[in-house]
Copies of this chain bind each other. A is one copy, B any other.
Amino acid sequence: MTYQEMTREQLKKELKSLKNEYAAKKALGLSLDMSRGKPSAEQLDLSMGMLDVLSSSDNLVTRSGIDVRNYGQLAGIPEARALFADLMGIEPDEVFICGNSSLNMMYDTVSRGMVFGFPGGEKPWGKQKRLKFLCPAPGYDRHFAICEVFGIQMIPVPMTPEGPDMTLVESWVNNDETVKGIWCVPQYSNPEGITYSDETVRRFAKLKPAAGDFRIFWDNAYCVHHLTSEPAHLLNLMEECRKEGSEDMVIMFVSTSKISFSGAGVAAIGCSRTNMKALERVIAMQVISFDKMNQLRHVRFFKDIEGVKAHMEKHRALLQPRFEGVTNRLEQELGGQGIAQWTHPKGGYFISVDTMPGCAKRVVSLCAGAGVKLTDAGATFPYGRDPQDRNIRIAPSYPTLDELLQATGIFCLCVRLAAVEKLIETVRE
């Protein structure tokens, strides 16, 4: 019998039993964390060899003749630009290698939009009256935080299994010149693991923005982060844009934060030559040069895109059992009860769970009470407002498999408890 089929009396009985179970879990005094997409120590161990590729006896001048220890080469060493070009499916001179964080690059890109504007715009964003960004939701909380900081109005766009609702995207972008950007995680989206369909990517390339300074923020954070042996296929947006002559509309972001080291990786921007020129001019006022030594470290360790792919297989071997552990446990404990749905991602860092409407906040709070930390409910929506209060993002990468199963068990208990509480409210005597 599912909860939905129960009488009020039966629900009350179930509630009592779940509360007892919850009290017992709480008494264990656990401290488990499924809140952030953070690699485990075992994953970080995979890149330790990178610490040996540059030593005091090595030559630190690149094949291209650059002493990576000194100032210069603002856009990065050619070898690193070539590697990131392959990762992004673009040309090396369309790549700008920056510091260690793609989030920082995205923040800086919006910030530069405010101060300097973009080619095609009449004046800096900051001098324009209204600014809007489209925010496919659920999405990445830190993207939304950047918009909030700069006072950019966020317009939520529903996600479909093919990517954002493109009819809505087209209608906004092509008609409203105050729409300046859209946040996209096109492969293994955060949190749902959706990869944009070919049709979706083509429709992005064919956009005819009302604003000349509209930009697609293409955050390809999980471009090589597969969880199965059949990688999702993502059409190359830049190539599609070239066919349409719309390549100035795209700014791509990638980083090795979840390839090498989360604290000490390398991040890059990919964009058209027109955007690149503007970027070089303004970044030159911001910094003398980025850390080219770390760029060289990455190039010497991975060698090429094939090296990166082989490396990501090792990550997969560590991550896949964790994801499977969580989804199996969800199936065992919540399957067929009509009180939750969840994703089975083929890549990326998250499992997205939809509880019954109006239950997500309660579940997160109950979990916290029992020592299981989750991302705040609502965080996956602009302004932290999940209109149905039902989406919860689970990050399975960091805990050990044991901890993860324990945490997922508690999570399932809390989902059931919240569902029963909610049903009691609505079911008649």
Contact = CB atoms under 8 A, between A and B. Distances in A.
A285 to B, nearest CB: 5
A257 B293 CA distance: 13
Contacts of A285: 107, 142, 145-146, 149
B54 A69 contact: no
Interface residues of A, number: 52
A269 to B, nearest CB: 15
A60 to B, nearest CB: 8
A263 interface: yes
Interface string A270-291: 0000000000001001111111
Interface string A361-390: 000000000000000000000000000000
B67 A294 contact: no
A286 B103 contact: yes
A425 interface: no
Interface stretch (A37-45, A85-93, A406-414): A37-45
Contacts of A286: 103-104, 107
A221 B215 CA distance: 37
Given A56-B48, A291-B294, A69 B115 contact: no
A67 B48 CA distance: 13
Contacts of A402: none
A84 B101 CA distance: 23
B291 A264 contact: yes
Nearest to A126: B126
Interface in A84-125: 99-101, 103-104, 107, 111, 114-116
17 contacts: A38-B70, A38-B71, A39-B70, A51-B55, A69-B263, A69-B264, A71-B262, A99-B291, A100-B291, A101-B288, A103-B288, A104-B287, A107-B285, A115-B149, A126-B126, A262-B288, A262-B289
Interface of A: 36, 38-39, 41, 44, 47-49, 51-52, 54-56, 58, 67-72, 99-101, 103-104, 107, 111, 114-116, 126, 142, 145-146, 149-150, 257, 261-264, 282, 285-294
Given A126-B126, A262-B288, 8 more contacts: A36-B71, A38-B70, A49-B56, A71-B262, A99-B291, A101-B288, A107-B286, A263-B292
